[in-house]
Amino acid sequence: MRDEQAYLISDAEYLSPALGRVFHFVAKRASGSYIYDLNEKPYLDMTSGIAVNQLGHSHPEVVEAITKQAQESIHTSCVVHYPANIELAEALAGIMPGDINSTFFCNSGAEAADGALKLIKILQPGRNNFIVHRGSFHGRTLGATALTTSKASYRKYFDPLIPGVNVINFPNTFACKTIDERRSFENQMHKEIELMFATHVAPESVAAIFIEPVLGEGGYLPAPIEYVNYLKHLRTLCDKHGILLVFDEVQSGMARTGKWFASEHYGVVPDIQLMAKGLSGGLPLGAFATRKELMYKMPPGSHGSTYGGNPICCRAALKMIEIIKRDKVLDKVLDSSEYIFKYFENKFPGSNSHKLSDTEIHSPVKVRGLGLMIGLEFASGEITTKIKEYAYSKQVLVLPCGAYGNIIRLAPDLTMSEADIQKGLDIIAEAIKLYC
Ligand SMILES: Cc1ncc(COP(=O)(O)O)c(C=O)c1O
């Protein structure tokens, strides 16, 4: 095998620079919660491949399921029907919220968003407006890029994108320092869409509202739930005006927040749900899903995919769902989440953004999130860069997010041991004490 330097030289020579990298080491292998470099140096992975590897890297039972499937068949495409594909659609119907029971498989989150846009166009003829939330990330295809507002650099070279995309603020009640502030903020938030409807976007022209129940790239920010249920508010508005409600659960879905889908925390069922990332825990699989009567409005041939929902990805997803149920992973996620919040509250009193008192308690870090989708907010992006680099020097991998890069996101695999979580947090806490 070549050494690291030789690989990095070839990387720069032959790969597109468009795809940025965060850490410049070459991974030889990955297993459980660790990635190993070419010299077998281990790195604790608190990114899980950007919130993908729900059961850690290369879970042996998933590897076995993939191997067995590969021996039976790797790819047939839509030339025929195949069991793994049908079994997975059935299994998803059993865990998706409410009456969502019909799935279209594709290869990624962006494709899921694009496919959903086509479905919406079929379902809502004559309604040419969409509403998205500022800070959202829905993917990199042109359709998904048009819906994405998490960073201007993602859109910079590509305007004009599809027309009719209207942006409203994602309500960040965590920015409020006191209970009173939060209450008045919530009144304002309710008025925002109504003002948009009254001033420049007639509600009967809106086809769909898109939201990530927990904003991912935009800052690991759950939609408000404590004082007012924002998703319920959207559901009511959508029902009133005949608008479709789309939850992008690409990052927040598949057990990441301690429920199969984050919408369950809010008790709200969308019309359309997007999935990818954790759906097959590391293999390229995406999906959009809706009620059968809506999905059946999409005539045969109106959408398609050569690879989407191929047998290997579907087998991996089926095995993952089986293990999550068998090993009670949803409970484990909630326990680990509570552990992380308590850890920070002990080290940095006042850090829990979900708990407000009448007066502000200063903390160098503010912690918010659902399940194992936890955001650590700092005063600036410079601080998070230093924390990320310090952690890297101690062989712990964490990623920043948010428009200003001032959030560290914790998205470990859902089965990371308490000892490893503590090891990662201890290093982050050391960095906070050094740099804040
Ligand atoms: C919420 C959300 N939607 C869509 C996407 C796009 O997914 P993909 O990169 O698989 O196209 C992402 C990726 O980060 C995401 O977080």
Q: Give residue-wise pLDDT tens across range 376-411.
A: 999 999 999 999 999 999 999 999 999 999 999 999
pLDDT value for 192:
87
Among candidate residues 284, 304, 326, the one where a domain is terminated: 326
- Does 309 share its domain with 398? no
Rounded Cα distance between 124 and 243, Å, is 8
Q: What is the pLDDT of residues 308-318, one digit of tens each?
A: 999 999 999 99
Q: Which domain holds residue 17?
A: 4-58+328-435
Of 248, 254, 213, 284, nearest to 413 by C-alpha is 254
- For residue 231, pLDDT over 80 is answered with yes
What's the pLDDT at 356?
Answer: 77
Instruction: For residue 249, report the distance from its CA to the centre of ligand 1, in Å.
Output: 9
Cα separation of 133 and 135, whole Å?
A: 6
Last residue of a domain, one of 326, 346, 363: 326
> Contact, 120 vs 105, CB < 8 A?
no
The rounded Å distance from CA 357 to ligand 1 centre is: 35
Dist CA 398 CA 391 (whole Å): 7
What's the gap in Å between 207 CA and the centre of ligand 1? Answer: 22
State the residue for tokens 């004490």. 433
pLDDT at res. 181: 81
Ligand 1 proximity of 402 Cβ (cutoff 6 Å): no
**Is the domain of 278 the same as that of 215?**
yes
pLDDT, residue 186, reads 74
Which position has the higher pLDDT, 271 or 355? 271
Please name the residue whose Cα sits nearest to atom 7 of ligand 1.
109
Looking at 326, 341, 376, which one is the last position of a domain? Answer: 326
Tokens representing residue 170 in the block: 């994602």
Binned at pLDDT 50, 70 and 90, residue 188 comes out as confident
Asked whether 184 and 174 are in contact (CB, 8 A), the reply is: no
Maximum distance among all alpha carbons in the chain?
64
Contact partners, residue 162, CB within 8 Å, separation at least 6 = 117, 142, 143, 146
Q: Looking at the structure, tell me whether residues 131 and 89 fall in a common domain.
A: yes
Mutating to test ligand 1, I would choose from 149, 212, 250 the residue with most ligand atoms within 8 A of its C-beta, which is 250
Residue nearest to atom 8 of ligand 1 (CA): 109
| Same domain, residue pair 104 and 199 | yes
| β 396-397/42-45 pair status | parallel
Which are the contacts of 251, defined by CB distance < 8 A and separation ≥ 6?
Answer: 50, 51, 109, 212, 214, 216, 217, 277, 278, 373
Instruction: Return d(Cα 32, Cα 319) in angstroms, integer.
Output: 16
The CB of 271 under 6 Å from ligand 1? The reply is no
Residues 216 and 245 in one domain: yes
- The residue with greater pLDDT, 359 or 80, is 80
* Segment among 123-137, 170-184, 367-381, 397-411 with least mean pLDDT: 170-184
- Residues 101, 107, 109, 111: is their CA dihedral positive or negative? negative
* C-alpha 109 – ligand 1 centre gap (Å): 4
Q: In this structure, are 166 and 239 located in the same domain?
A: yes
Coil vs helix vs strand at 369? strand
| CB 341 within 8 Å of CB 353 | no
Whether 229 and 282 share a structural domain: yes
Strands (E), 255-308: 272-275, 286-290
> Identity (one letter) of the amino acid at 435?
Y
Are residue 365 and residue 423 in the same domain, yes or no? yes
What CATH number does the domain containing 287 carry? 3.40.640.10
pLDDT score of 177 more than 80: no
Same domain for 312 and 272: yes
The total number of structural domains in the chain stands at 2
* Nearest C-alpha neighbor of 403 from the set 122, 155, 162, 77: 155
Do residues 172 and 270 both lie within one domain?
yes
CATH of the domain at 382: 3.90.1150.10
> Are 281 and 401 members of one domain?
no
Mark whether 54 and 88 lie in a shared domain: no
Q: Model confidence over 286-342: pLDDT tens digits?
A: 999 999 999 999 999 999 999 999 999 999 999 999 999 999 999 999 999 999 999
Average pLDDT over residues 165-194: 84
